[in-house]
Homo-oligomer: A and B are copies of this chain.
Amino acid sequence: MYTQSTHTPSTATRLQDRNWQGSARPPPEVRLRSLDSFSTTKTYCRNQEIYGQEQPAEAFYKVLSGTVRLCITRVDGRRQIIDLLLPDDVFGFASRGEYDYSAEAVETNTRIAAYPRRRIEALAEGDPQVARVLHEIMCRCVSRLQSQLRILGRITAREKVGSFLLEMADRLSDKPARKVILPISRYDIADYLAISVETVSRSLTDLKQRGVIALVGTRRVKIIDRHALEDG
């Protein structure tokens, strides 16, 4: 089902490897090599569950490569994607001891690092740097969820799809990019934006015909008129 490997220094991954933001005085770069000795890396298959809803929350996870979706399935069978995790994103927070949503790998060869919650939290008790990094990670998570709320709050499907494309372009690249390779299918986009698959497809076709974007195949998107995407 999956391959598992203990962490090795050469493939070192850190829970967070960036500057301490949100603080007025920019502190030195925080490298938490100490955390990596606790992490375990697994490779997941397409659609494979990383953890299930209502399972005890025993670890934080960080996406090394690939994409992860947090979902919930309603009683009527409809699926909702609550969050989409890209490389370097951290997930697995739970405020009640168990996960509120299930986490699934989107594609085969999705590599995930798992950090045992208790050990990390115990570490944070003693090491302010660890606590600080945890805090920044949470801030990023909040920021990501707020962005998604802003997208879901838009009125028309074209606006939602347009904002989604921009969001992906920004998150998948360090600089403002003109080309995006969509990490998920139309179905996933639909469940992420709370619109039907057909509407997703029609919106993309619409944006293409308006000359706002260009499509190469189904996953490759070129952003031609960024301003039009922002306004809807």
Chain A residues close to B by CB (< 8 Å): 21-24, 56-57, 72, 75-76, 78, 80, 82-83, 93-97, 100-101, 117-118, 121, 124-126, 128, 131-132, 134-136, 138-143, 145-146, 148-150, 152-155, 194, 231-232
- Copies of this chain, whole number: 2
Contact among B75, B97, B135 for A131, CB-based, below 8 A: B135
Contact A23 B153 (CB under 8 A): no
Assuming the contacts A82-B146, A135-B131, A145-B145, asked whether A21 and B97 have C-beta atoms less than 8 A apart, the reply is yes
User: Smallest CB-CB separation from A128: which chain B residue?
Assistant: B125
Q: What would 7 more interface pairs be, CB under 8 Å, given A24-B118, A126-B128?
A: A72-B150, A76-B232, A95-B136, A95-B143, A124-B131, A141-B142, A145-B146
- Please report the C-alpha to C-alpha distance between residue A113 and residue B90 in the assembled complex, in whole angstroms: 30
Enumerate 25 A-B pairs (CB-CB under 8 Å) in ascending A order. A22-B96, A22-B97, A23-B118, A24-B117, A76-B231, A76-B232, A82-B149, A93-B139, A93-B142, A94-B139, A95-B142, A100-B143, A101-B146, A124-B131, A125-B128, A125-B131, A128-B131, A131-B131, A131-B135, A135-B135, A138-B139, A141-B142, A145-B149, A149-B149, A154-B194
User: Smallest CB-CB separation from A230: which chain B residue?
Assistant: B75
User: Smallest CB-CB separation from A129: which chain B residue?
Assistant: B125
Residues of B within 8 A of A118 (CB): 23-24
Contact A125 B132 (CB under 8 A): yes
User: Smallest CB-CB separation from A135: which chain B residue?
Assistant: B134
- Please report the C-alpha to C-alpha distance between residue A35 and residue B76 in the assembled complex, in whole angstroms: 46
User: Smallest CB-CB separation from A121: which chain B residue?
Assistant: B23
Residues of B within 8 A of A22 (CB): 57, 93-97, 117
Contact A124 B128 (CB under 8 A): yes
